[in-house]
Structure formats: structure tokens, C-alpha cells
Chain A
Amino acid sequence: MATAAAQRTARTEPDGAPDTAGGTAEYQRAFDAAVAADERIEPRDWMPDAYRATLVRQIAQHAHSEIIGMQPEANWITRAPSLRRKAILMAKVQDEAGHGLYLYSAAETLGTGREELLDKLHSGRQKYSSIFNYPTLTWADVGAIGWLVDGAAITNQVPLCRCSYGPYARAMVRICKEESFHQRQGYELLLALSNGTPEQHAMAQDAVDRWWWPSLMMFGPPDDESQHSAQSMEWKIKRHSNDELRQRFVDICVPQAESLGLTLPDPDLKWNEERGQHDFGTIDWTEFWEVLKGNGPCNEQRITQRRRAHDEGAWVREAAAAHAAKHAGTAGGTGATRA
């Protein structure tokens, strides 16, 4: 541990970036050694610019996904069919706002403010998970999102609890605990529908049919088309490839679908004895890229609602800032204040 402590000291920037090329090389070596030793990089440690930029992009987009992801589920809060389900759904949507807040905080440790990140979301310069561009058309979609979408998110995120960047890894530990809870609740919702009336069962099957393929797309493009993967794995931001995680998810879902009494909409899905894994059909990558480009069923609606909430809330945030400025004795802070 003595060497680890020495390394940490060597990696911590005293005052901004080192001023000589030799200094940078030394910092780079210490950074590489820390990553190789599975140590955590912390906010005040030196890190390569590209590492910082990749993390800002990934954490911000993760935060944006939590915030946009509130919409498809909030769509059913006012129509939830029992008070118990309504309470569960409200708590879940609230958790998502909380996850967004953790993740913006984690991103802010890298030197970018929340306002700037939100601005990038609103102007389309940063993305959010493509899954939230699909509509929630029936109550069963709430269950399918919990089971499949949260299930895919957990498969992706559990390895992030060991991500090389400390603040992100710690945020993921908290988030994964809550996500696992949501995922079980989604599964239980679908189970109730599947064992309910014929209409309820059909509703559950229809939702799974519509959400299955988009959930598989959540793992991102195939490994040979994933532009950030190799570097992220080298930096130990990512621990497994897109295709590995996707395979793991399929293998987890198949028996769960069976115990739900529901089928998965893939005629090519079958157990492969040799590989000890399931084979499955080909993802419609054209659809994936179209949704990513903004041409999915709800892209326009999601971003418009987010912008509207932000714009219509501007006067509230200005009031809070003006009030705080007046009462902190630092008058004239932001915006017009009342005389």
C-alpha cells in the first residue's frame, strides 16, 4: 500500500496541469500505472484530456438518459390501475430524477457544470439512451421497461461499479441498488398481468414484443462498429464489450421470460449447446442508427418536453437565484430583483 500511496501523491496535480512535456510524460506514466493496478482515479488526479472528455460525455449522457427516461414512465403515473402500482411508479420516477442528480454531480467533478450539460442535451449536442425514444402505449409497457430496459441497464452498469473513475464508480454503486429494485418490480408487474385475465396477458405479451429488440440495442453497436470501445476498455471505464454484455443479457432473460409465461419475439432464439449460450437473431441496425440520428418515434417529443419544462421553469429558477442573492447580502446576483 506504500507504493499506492506514493503513486497517488505523484498523480495529484498541485496547481493545474504540469507545465513541461517531461512532467506530462511522468504524470501519464503514473496514470497508466494506477489504471493498470486497478486503482481509482479521483477528481484532483492528473488524467489525459481524452480520458476526461470521454468520461464527461459518457456520464453526462448517462445523466441525460435518467432525466429523459422519466418521461415514458411518467406518462402512466396518472393512469396507474391501482394505488399500490401508482405509488411504486411514482417512487421509481422520483428515483430517476435522483439518479440524474448523482450523475450530474459526478460529471461536475470533471470540471463541467450541470447547466452546460443540460444545454448540450437541449441543443442535441449530447445524446441520451435511444431506448427512451420508444412510446409507452399500454400499462404493460411500464412492466416491460422495468424488466427489460432496467435489466439491460443493470447488465451494463454493474461493471461500471468498478470503473476506473472513482466518482462515477461510486455513483453506480448507489444507482445499481435502486435499479435492481425497479427491475424486480417491473418483472412482478408483468407476472401479475401474465397471470391475470386474457386481456392482461395479451397486453403483457404485446409490450414484451415491442420492447425486446430496442432493449438489445441498448448495449450499443456491434463490437466492430463501436468507436469508443477499445479506448474505454483500455482505460477501464468499460470492462466488457457491447456484444459480450448483450449476450449475457439474452442468457439472463430467456429463463425469466419462461417463468413469466411470455415469449420473446425472436424465431432464431435457441440454446447453443456448444457455446453454452443462446443464439439469437439479427438486430435491425438500420432502425438503431435511425433512432440515434433523431428519427425514432418519440425523439422530437422527448426533447421538446424537456426543453419546455426547462424554459417554462426559467422564471422559477431566476426567482430562487434573485431571492438567494438578496438574502445573502450579495444583491444584484442574477436577473432583475424586486426593489
Chain B
Amino acid sequence: MTATVPATTTAAALALGDDALVLSHRLGEWAGHAPALEEEVALANIALDLLGQARVLLSMAGDEDQLAYLREERDFRNLQLAEQPNGDFAHTIARQLYFSTYQHLLYAELAAGDGPFAPLAAKAVKEVAYHRDHAEQWTLRLGDGTDESHERMQRACDALWRFTGEMFQPVDGLDADWPGMADRWLESVTGVLGRSTLTVPEGPRTGAWSAGAGRQGLHTESFGRMLAEMQHLHRSHPGATW
């Protein structure tokens, strides 16, 4: 099957699939630790949606388990944003706000087109609309909640800001209006932060190191440890089926 798929499609499937796989894994780390039972359900739900997307996308590029469990850190193509550690609940929400807004815009474009990702995007865009709503609602509650939650939410938005530029580095094989998406993303996030009484972070959104780095297989340090945990059992039993 892969023989008939253009190389750019395979590479793009890996980029999108890795984003979903890695963020899903991070959200899975919340299980049993969430601040309320309703959030146990919500975070697991979002993680499951993303894992479902990852499985479809990785299967477009090859064998899902081989790709998830047997690639090294340097071969993963996910955004650095997706791999950032959970931190406190505000960090997780800021990461979700930035990512789900981006993913929603991108999947809406892909769903409207007739490229190889249109069917996946058409299904996923509905899920991602929920994720985006969840993140926006929590940004509002935390930003416009108590003094403590406001400070934590602002810190989280600031800390993750420098990973947001990478999302709009064009990916070969994805037919999308990247500069237009970047503008709409900024407009949307600025609006949510404003309504949440939060300040739009200053500072650069990309650096010499982080501009498109994840997409090239250059990751942050916590990512290797995350993969070690994710892959160890699978790698300990070569060739086994589960």
C-alpha cells in the first residue's frame, strides 16, 4: 500500500500522526491524577480521540506499532509543543489551547480539500472542536478565576509561547494556507486570552533552535524519557504480538 503513496504524504502523515500520538500519551499520564473526576473523564476522552487519529495517520505511513514503538527520538516528527511535560493543570490547558486551536484550523482546511487527509480530517475536526472548546472554557475559568489560578495560567501561557511558531512552518504534503492559519490562530488565541483577563505573551514564538525543529526530529530533553517509558515493553519482546 505504501508503495503507491507519495513520499510527501507519508511524511505528512507521520508529522500529524506523531503530534496526536505524543500529545495523547502526555494526556494519558493524567489518569488517576486529575483535579476532579469530570476531568479524569475529559482528559482521557481527548487522549483517546487523539490516539484514534494517530492510529489512522500512522497506518497511512506504515505499521502503526512499528512506527510508534520502534523509532528513535530523532525519527519522530511531532511538534515540540506536543511533547512538553504536563506541568500543572494550567500548563496542560495552555498546551491544549494552543494545540487544539491549531489542529482545528488545520483539519478544517484539510477536510474542505480533496487531498489524502480529507476523510480523516472530516471525522477528526468534530472531535477537535470539542477539545478546543474544553481548552477555551478552562482558560476562561483559570484566567478569570482566583488570583492563584490567574497567575498559574499566565505563567503557563508564557512558558509555552515559544513553541507556538513551529505549528505554522509549512509541512510538505499538506495543502493549507499556512500564513492565513497563523493569523487566524493568533486572532483566536488573543481573543480567548483577552476574555480570560490574561495578557498575550510577548517574546518570540520561534527561536533559532525551535523553528520547525520537532518536524526535523530535533526534540526537547524530556521527550527521550517519555519514549523510553512508552517503548520499553514493546522493545523488550521483539517480534511478539499483543
Contact = CB atoms under 8 A, between A and B. Distances in A.
B144 A323 contact: yes
Interface in A275-328: 305, 308-310, 312-320, 322-324, 326
Contacts of A74: 31-32
A81 B31 contact: no
Interface string B30-70: 01111111111100110110011011001000001100110
Contact of B240 (A79, A196, A308): A196
Interface stretch (B146-154, B165-173, B184-192): B146-154
B204 to A, nearest CB: 29
Interface string A68-97: 001100100111111111110011011001
Contacts of A101: 37-38, 41
A67 interface: yes
Contacts, number: 154
A87 B52 contact: yes
A317 B29 CA distance: 20
Interface string B1-45: 000000000000000000001000100110111111111110011
A337 B38 CA distance: 23
B127 to A, nearest CB: 14
Given A81-B234, A83-B65, A323 B48 contact: no
Interface of B: 21, 25, 28-29, 31-41, 44-45, 47-48, 51-52, 54-55, 58, 64-65, 68-69, 88-89, 140-142, 144-150, 152, 197, 229-230, 232-234, 237, 239-242
Given A74-B31, A87-B48, A315-B149, 12 more contacts: A70-B31, A78-B25, A82-B242, A90-B48, A93-B40, A316-B149, A318-B146, A318-B148, A319-B142, A319-B149, A324-B141, A337-B145
Interface of A: 67, 70-71, 74, 77-87, 90-91, 93-94, 97-98, 100-101, 104, 139, 189, 192-193, 196-197, 199-200, 305, 308-310, 312-320, 322-324, 326, 335-338
